[in-house]
Structure 1
């Protein structure tokens, strides 16, 4: 028995040796050679793979390669823009290959929703971006990486805060009440919102832009569809890729702020403009103590952080056998904030497998994400402008304010408020598990059945703590009005599940090819949340809900919880036909039901039709092929639906209001009051979008130059909008009912072009152009102008509207005509504004009165009110452009991504706030008797008409051109990699947003806001950063 046991280690060793030996290529030898193009030019960067394995390499800057391979093996050579070629080794040690140019990769496969198609046979407007392009951006946000890459896809930043998501719109605004975000589909499973994948786990992104392509998703296709395919494994030797970068970030722009000397001079001008030669007590801010002369406080150094770190590391392992393949990806992303108390880190893991046996193919995908985010206090940047430079500096770590400085208790309270803001802790922890399993069975060679189940579950918890800060007056007495502390808890859970069963039939006979697809889908989305808040912490050491006051009086705390469920059921079908790849036809229809509608209007039908013609395949076109390599024309029309509005809009809602007392006088018994705040509308029906699209795809001069153009017209019908309910109905304050009351159009043109030259010096360029015109064409109801809640500039003045004939979210502002600079102007203006003085903004009394009866208003009504407002543009740009430049020489490569936006108007609310608080630097140049040529209105306090945010004075041109990314890299040659036993090693330096050319005077001209109502209003949003980083790409 002992001898038998002793033999076990030897047997294990022999087994391991044989296993390792079996994994090595049989009779491996070194094969080398040069890869050239059609004209003999050497091509760097060509992928060389041993067929049936993942053993591979790439050609160096001279087109040279070297690889270990068996004598009887086959090498596969592939490169973008060229036909993939296989060459048998045949025992040769030297193997040179010449690649021929491909017909613009028309055999390339793109995702089209519930399937794939050859690019040559696509009849809709579909665009693709791969991981190589996406990975050039250093961001946790997918939208930021997509900006400028696809014509028709608009990306605007909601914030530069770490972890923030951008606003993505495909072919313009699609809804004025619901979400304008596209539908995300990851490996076939629809997601609720941004799936927040790491870029490293994404293989390709396909965007379905036209309704004919998106209508297969029915209810949620009106905003376009983003199809994400994650990385999959390939049969062969295991390959390992390790990528990473580390960088720093800085704020490079902002609204200039005054220093102490300029502030006092501006204050002097204020007094002079108010009182004329009688300056009054000009030095009143400093009258209490000379301590104010000692300060020149600038909170910028306290709030902003220089050289904040950003880093990203990813690991991908993939491989497999003929039957089983796998891909595992792990990613870490970390970003420190450029503003105190902000930062973000995320960890993603994804494992994909594919198993094929006989007629079965089973695929699985599992993903896990964890997040930690710290938010900067709301409006932190505004604090810079609210705090006068003569005031005492604030130590962000103080727990009490005892030195009130120059302005007594008022300053102490202000300092206490700031200290509490600086010490606020606002953290979110989140996680998501997602996955799907798909089983496909080949019933026959042409008929396949597929069943798929998947979904995700997301849980977030957010805790905000407003610390306890005590403030004292100059005598050390605790002030009666303290900064109120508190603790805020919020948690939510989102989950979605999808179950699909489909049949697909594919048949080719003669020159005819037919694809028939049909299926049934069921989806469920659930959302639950809980919120609680209590005030007046007993101690900063106890920061839980029970550590706050137990005072039962009204206002001591608030809370709520909610639960929502939305279910969808769909039946879908599609028929695709082509003849010899020349003539293509596609017809699809989807019938959907949503629980958000009453039974009468629950179901919606969404059909589509598209056709294409590869003109360049015709006999009559052959004489032109030397100049025009390919020509394809496309046309489509489709209908999509939108159910992205409030849940239970077809039912009345009841809201819990404030407590009320009942019983005898003096009773402390409190009761709860409920108010109906919205009314049921059983007739609410689907918003629908009908879109027509015409497109053309061309390539020239042996496919070196490519061009694509699309023209579209979208008619939005039965748009949902909440209308106010009259108080006579007994409804509560601001009660509404959702009705189908509006129509809207989106018209546009999308152009993209590219050029490439391959050789010892290779270079390529791609450009995109997007133009979208949005117009409200119908709006029922008594209000001709509907001001959007949330469209405030200074918490007082609403400026964004929904109005027929204008874009959704248009700016409606009070017009001005310069400032009062003469006695004649002053006398005329005082008839409208009796209190007007020299240097005031001149508001225009719009002509609204018809005095001669000809039906044309010819005179103002003598009042300043909303009737005087005029259209002043919107936050929607007239057009956007993207430009990518790439070049390589030998082993060096350089790339640049430019992005530009023209015609958007922005309201600089940060500049407005600085003016209202008297801390704007340009106030030293304001109008005065000594500076009568100034165009800056005289400062008369924050509430004066000169400072109101509703005028066109604060509107600025938001056009800009930005260098989004630039990188310079070096890839080590094959000879070095061989010695180091590596497949790839590339080092690079890069910068993101280093250059922005704009006239805008705020932090960032790319202002997306947090919704339609605030689009284009810069409220001191967290600024974008300029980033500088070094990175590596390593392959084993």
Structure 2
């Protein structure tokens, strides 16, 4: 009995305990409504999936990233979005759960644009690299080339000039042509552009670069320099989104050429006088003070006067996008303005682009319309070298004046040049341009496997340029007018260019079990027209009347000149491509393009450009599974492709004639002047396509769930039948300029190189600390393997080091066995310091004296001539390195990029020019009997052999390391804005080119040029500036 009671009490106790537990659990597990916002990098995510773990209950976010879901307390919500890491959160007491997702670095389904189609990154077999808008926006530049510098292995970018609006020079895998155009082809939304399309960075969604010939051969003759495929931003389904950005900054020149003051200048001239055999200077018996008695009262330095310190740079952007199912839109507008750091220079650009996409039934139609207005002001001609040679004891120049009194003695060379120098300060050279481009892309889905695409594009470009050389009057000390050596005048030019593109494409895609096949056939037609007219007149009547008719000429002078030119060229291409893969593991692609160009004669008009590539995703093999925790993916790639080149002037295959070469017709006494015509240029009907065959071997490797990624490529390019204009002898009667040349297939060239790109990405899902470290390495070796004919070396026009010297001073060459643009100079062997050295050297150069440079008689013929020139490197770097690092934490973000070019040489032409004119500070320490250990040759006047540009005395190491970009920002949390609908507000500070490490003592070691013959030759190039900016980014 007692036992039964005890048992009953225990059972009741257990029952009460269980009841209490179950009641508590029921309270805990009751269903409630949870809401929140799903975002990524502060942006709402449309269509993100939220699922209650272990159930079929789920929902998606709306246009603003909002969601609402019923879930039991203690349940687990799983947040998912394609391309991002999933996130699981246990539901607690709070009814609001906001989630931020991070990108999944293991995602290999990234879509790459490959030309006439797209492809999953995992299936790409060529050397193709994609750069996002996020990456290029961090650089903060209006120039596409500058934005890409150091980001892509194998893409060499050098600044042709630091001038506002100047394009960078882009070489993909080395020099692709010796005819002057090695630039890549630009393709914007499927439409090819002949040059940089000058888009604002806010218009661009992605940039895909086709580096190897196998990938670029789909563009045939246009792909020899590589291809840059630009995809512009498109609208997305959802509520209207407005984004705005703005920055303002200041620029300055951080380096220069050291020049002398008045005392040092007079000292150098006295030394020059003392060093002359007859004790005179420059052929005059006057000392500098006697020559110009005002020399001690002046203190003039023109370098600071031509520089514009703290020049402003600013950018404004606004975009509006959105749409509904079936119709989306994106409109981007921007304005960029940059004042030059050199006087009278600047660049303003306004861009607007509208993209729409319409889908209904089997049709998908996309349109794009872009409009650009530019105003570019160029710095006065040779203003940097003019400032370098200006003596500090000369009269000061007022940039706002039209006259100058007491300029000095009238028989002084410096005085006679003064009016020309002063006029440069008021010279204006302005270009205004408008460009309109439009495209339409219509895709019709024929069936589940076939699509038909027709694409048309038109662009219209109109440029006008006006250069005004102002009237300037200088009076000598006696009040006489000093003639202006460069005549005042007006130059007007108008250029109109149009392009038309039409393409029809049929693509096929189907899977047969594990076998996947894609095929493309296409037809492409392109037409380009170019028309220009220019006129020039001299002798302005006043600087207030600067129109063409405001210039009048001396009656005895020839009247103004005018000329024009019209050109047209066309291209037709037929394209085919087949792609195959088995389970995405074994990859194969083959393409062929047949191009016809109007630039060739009928016999050689057509060229055929095939390619084949293969790849193997090793990591997809079953036997690879044991190591996948360490090696996430491994792919090998191989490709062989051919591209063509037709980069020479239109009508070079036809002899041209010129009118207005009059002649006398008739017998003596009854003769008349008749209108005549002569052959102006010669032709080569046998000129044929220049072709490039390239082998590419590469791999893609990733570790630790793709946190580490390494890509490597080796390539070898064999260029055959190089096109090059060769100079004709005067006996041919060619009329001059480009007409003195004829285009020939002159030889072969090879490019060999290695490329590596390494990236590490860490996503701190729990800590919120994310960081990324990336690096690139590129090495390219170029060699001219064959020169046709008996002449194995050709000096390149335009490669003089010092301005105003004859063609005998050319230094860049095409020579068999050396890189294109190699420097061939006369080498030096120090200074002649002793009488013994002088006597020995005078057997080679009888006029030599103590303190002169000693040149090496390379061919031992006891004379110094061009035959003594030797190889001395080139302006092309041996290798390049790019390094970038970024991190973000709780709204703070930081980005830094370094770039380095190592091993290239620079010929310091600015230094040579300052030596030549006796203004470089080094000359204070020149060799004299009292300073016998100096390595600086004695100053003997501007025309002495000591200062000729074709020697190695001016060659310096051009290696440098540059901190290109630093960007620090903070994104304000959205909750601070309440109901203002602000989804992102970021403020930032940025610096561009704040630090350069180099041993080069010129303006800047980044010496590029649009013509490879002048690469590495510093002739007073517009210097690159440092920038410091502050800006904001705002999204609604």
Counterpart in the other structure of 1:1027:
1027
Matched, 1:789 2:805: no
Matched, 1:49 2:53: no
Counterpart in the other structure of 1:146:
148
Matched, 1:747 2:752: yes
Distance 1:407 1:193, change over 3 A: same
Counterpart in the other structure of 2:261:
259
Counterpart in the other structure of 1:840:
852
C-alpha separation in 2, matches of 1:666 and 1:79 = 93
C-alpha separation in 2, matches of 1:697 and 1:384 = 52
Q: Secondary structure at the match of 2:456?
A: strand
Contact 1:992–1:1027 (8 Å) recurs in 2: yes
Contact 1:46–1:77 (8 Å) recurs in 2: no
Counterpart in the other structure of 1:216:
218
Matched, 1:1001 2:1001: yes
State which of 389, 399, 404 in structure 1 corresponds to 2:402.
Answer: 399
| Superposed displacement of residue 974, structure 1 | 3.0
C-alpha separation in 2, matches of 1:450 and 1:278 = 80
C-alpha separation in 2, matches of 1:452 and 1:84 = 39
Counterpart in the other structure of 1:923:
923
| Superposed displacement of residue 267, structure 1 | 1.9
Q: Secondary structure at the match of 1:195?
A: coil
C-alpha separation in 1, matches of 2:187 and 2:741 = 34
Q: Secondary structure at the match of 1:417?
A: helix
Contact 1:71–1:89 (8 Å) recurs in 2: no
| Superposed displacement of residue 445, structure 1 | 1.2
Contact 1:907–1:1017 (8 Å) recurs in 2: yes
- What pairs with 1:22-101 in structure 2 (closer than 5 Å)? 31-32=35-36, 45=41, 47-51=43-47, 69-71=66-68, 82-83=84-85, 93-95=95-97
Matched, 1:820 2:832: yes
| Superposed displacement of residue 77, structure 1 | 5.7
Query: What is the CA deviation profile of residues 96-133 of structure 1, one whole-angstrom value per residue up to 9, with x for unaligned ones?
Result: 76979846431000100011111000000000111111
| Superposed displacement of residue 601, structure 1 | 0.8
Distance 1:367 1:33, change over 3 A: closer
C-alpha separation in 1, matches of 2:857 and 2:297 = 47
| Superposed displacement of residue 783, structure 1 | 2.0
User: Could you list the runs of 5+ residues in structure 1 that have no partner in the other structure?
Assistant: 1-27, 36-43, 54-64, 848-859
C-alpha separation in 2, matches of 1:87 and 1:421 = 70
| Superposed displacement of residue 510, structure 1 | 1.1
| Superposed displacement of residue 1028, structure 1 | 0.3
C-alpha separation in 2, matches of 1:1027 and 1:808 = 34
Counterpart in the other structure of 2:871:
871
- What pairs with 1:164-313 in structure 2 (closer than 5 Å)? 164-274=166-276, 284-313=287-316
Q: Secondary structure at the match of 1:975?
A: helix
Counterpart in the other structure of 1:767:
775
Contact 1:402–1:412 (8 Å) recurs in 2: no
| Superposed displacement of residue 930, structure 1 | 1.2
Q: Secondary structure at the match of 2:899?
A: strand
Distance 1:278 1:907, change over 3 A: closer
Query: What is the CA deviation profile of residues 551-591 of structure 1, one whole-angstrom value per residue up to 9, with x for unaligned ones?
Result: 57664432210111111111101111111111111011111
C-alpha separation in 1, matches of 2:494 and 2:914 = 35
Contact 2:695–2:717 (8 Å) recurs in 1: yes
| Superposed displacement of residue 375, structure 1 | 0.8
| Superposed displacement of residue 657, structure 1 | 8.2
- What pairs with 1:271-420 in structure 2 (closer than 5 Å)? 271-274=273-276, 284-405=287-408, 410-420=413-423
C-alpha separation in 2, matches of 1:66 and 1:500 = 36
Matched, 1:572 2:575: yes
C-alpha separation in 1, matches of 2:112 and 2:790 = 48
Matched, 1:532 2:531: no
C-alpha separation in 2, matches of 1:799 and 1:488 = 32
Aligned residues: 977
Distance 1:982 1:421, change over 3 A: same
| Superposed displacement of residue 461, structure 1 | 0.1
C-alpha separation in 1, matches of 2:114 and 2:443 = 19
| Superposed displacement of residue 708, structure 1 | 0.2
| Superposed displacement of residue 702, structure 1 | 2.0
Query: What is the CA deviation profile of residues 7-38 of structure 1, one whole-angstrom value per residue up to 9, with x for unaligned ones?
Result: xxxxxxxxxxxxxxxxxxxxx99834899xxx
C-alpha separation in 1, matches of 2:989 and 2:108 = 34
C-alpha separation in 1, matches of 2:119 and 2:33 = 39
| Superposed displacement of residue 291, structure 1 | 2.1
The structure that has the greater radius of gyration is 2
Distance 1:555 1:134, change over 3 A: farther
Query: What is the CA deviation profile of residues 489-510 of structure 1, one whole-angstrom value per residue up to 9, with x for unaligned ones?
Result: 1111111110011111111221
Query: What is the CA deviation profile of residues 493-545 of structure 1, one whole-angstrom value per residue up to 9, with x for unaligned ones?
Result: 11111001111111122111111111111110111111111111122222222
| Superposed displacement of residue 402, structure 1 | 2.3
Contact 2:801–2:950 (8 Å) recurs in 1: yes
Counterpart in the other structure of 1:637:
640
Contact 1:471–1:482 (8 Å) recurs in 2: no
Identify the range of structure 1 (409-418 vs 950-959) with the bigger mean alpha-carbon deviation: 409-418
C-alpha separation in 2, matches of 1:956 and 1:666 = 67
Contact 2:41–2:100 (8 Å) recurs in 1: no
| Superposed displacement of residue 281, structure 1 | 8.6
| Superposed displacement of residue 410, structure 1 | 4.3
Contact 2:539–2:553 (8 Å) recurs in 1: no
- What pairs with 1:435-514 in structure 2 (closer than 5 Å)? 435-479=438-482, 483-514=486-517
Contact 1:469–1:483 (8 Å) recurs in 2: no
Q: Secondary structure at the match of 1:1024?
A: coil
**Aligned CA-pair RMSD:** 2.9
| Superposed displacement of residue 270, structure 1 | 2.1
Q: Secondary structure at the match of 2:417?
A: helix
Contact 2:35–2:69 (8 Å) recurs in 1: no
- What pairs with 1:964-1003 in structure 2 (closer than 5 Å)? 964-978=964-978, 980-1003=980-1003
C-alpha separation in 2, matches of 1:1029 and 1:134 = 16
- What pairs with 1:623-662 in structure 2 (closer than 5 Å)? 623-655=626-658
| Superposed displacement of residue 278, structure 1 | 9.4
State which of 763, 775, 779 in structure 2 corresponds to 1:758.
Answer: 763
Name the TM-score, length of structure 2 as normaliser. Answer: 0.90
Contact 2:926–2:936 (8 Å) recurs in 1: yes
User: Could you list the runs of 5+ residues in structure 2 that have no partner in the other structure?
Assistant: 1-31, 50-61, 71-76
Query: What is the CA deviation profile of residues 467-495 of structure 1, one whole-angstrom value per residue up to 9, with x for unaligned ones?
Result: 11122222323345654111101111111
Distance 1:822 1:105, change over 3 A: farther
Q: Secondary structure at the match of 1:772?
A: strand
Q: Secondary structure at the match of 2:294?
A: helix
Contact 2:78–2:86 (8 Å) recurs in 1: no
Identify the range of structure 1 (463-472 vs 996-1005) with the bigger mean alpha-carbon deviation: 463-472
Counterpart in the other structure of 1:854:
none
Q: Secondary structure at the match of 1:1013?
A: helix
Contact 1:508–1:514 (8 Å) recurs in 2: yes
C-alpha separation in 1, matches of 2:92 and 2:163 = 58
Contact 1:344–1:373 (8 Å) recurs in 2: yes
C-alpha separation in 2, matches of 1:952 and 1:286 = 35
Contact 2:36–2:67 (8 Å) recurs in 1: no
Query: What is the CA deviation profile of residues 21-77 of structure 1, one whole-angstrom value per residue up to 9, with x for unaligned ones?
Result: xxxxxxx99834899xxxxxxxx8375413189xxxxxxxxxxx9977242599976
Distance 1:664 1:967, change over 3 A: farther
C-alpha separation in 2, matches of 1:148 and 1:298 = 37
Distance 1:563 1:116, change over 3 A: same
| Superposed displacement of residue 792, structure 1 | 1.1
| Superposed displacement of residue 405, structure 1 | 3.3
Matched, 1:890 2:890: yes
